[in-house]
Structure 1
């Protein structure tokens, strides 16, 4: 029976007819207790330095009008997405960030909360964003339509960007892995395959971190427009 190329993304593993794939979303919780040791180790030092760098960047993006402690939301968002992306690179762990059900459930509530807060508390400020500064009067109706459409598709672009990047890398790894039995007769081809797999895996680790950073930065920029 032929298998579908996307079968690696199907939630099919279960115990007693209960799907456990989405439980892997919370597997990163097992790593959290490492940060509560009284003596810091290298992992905690690197992690807290990374959090301080992200805090400074998000604080700059939120402008002086940003609410106190608002950077914690986006740092937590970055950590959650990054852990799920990296955990999905391990064998037999379900990649939840490759599904729109996961990414859209993160992007849509954030966007809705920003829009509701902005339109209910700062209506004039939100209307100003619909017409860029310096727009000729004759083009203002078209700019309002364009800005409104670009605003409405923001949660979709956030979700699809993360999903597409995670799916693309996993599909490449799957395709290269399926060619393994065909290269067993040639040692050179097998070594090239292993080397390319390692390079692609390293690239996927970088993509996992970069995409979580892009998701959180864009969410921060969308939040700064409301203030």
Structure 2
């Protein structure tokens, strides 16, 4: 890997958003370095030397190999926000075909992940962290499902539109199973509906097809994500109780 092409990702396993980037990098067969960030104990150097918001993921493109605690050169391209990073990768590596070549299909891909960001993610936050009713999540997922073609991926061939969705979808199952105190009663019914109801049959098939791709399973391990998310929830809510 030359210094001009080196990709460094700051990430945390329990967050679904770095997984969006991982799967795109795997699909593009691009080598990358990972610097893991502990979301329960975010290091000062990350905020001070790398990314002031301390969110993940964060991408640095080019330069020498980075190590925890180091500051990437300010002259290097650097980006936060997973969807911004995905579009950067698609534009920087067009041969990887992370987005369709057709302008119309590219537009459809953007509409799909715009719906993920603006409808599904807020619905999951509402249900998991604000005791919102399960129907809020159902309606958001029905909208996502309505955007899918009868078969295949979001816009035909696999694209970053698909990377945008399934990590957050699987995170929803993790949260429903862990039952944070901000989750409304009835999470078992929500899980049952998502897992078995004909209402979401197309969505389940779509996610299963995503998960058969090697890119999906290279970094995502449900048990690891669940264990780390349980630790994070304990950290967050034990801290809230102490205040």
The verdict on a shared fold, with TM-score over 0.5 as the criterion, is no
TM-score (norm 1): 0.29
TM-score (norm 2): 0.27
Greater fraction of residues in helix = 1
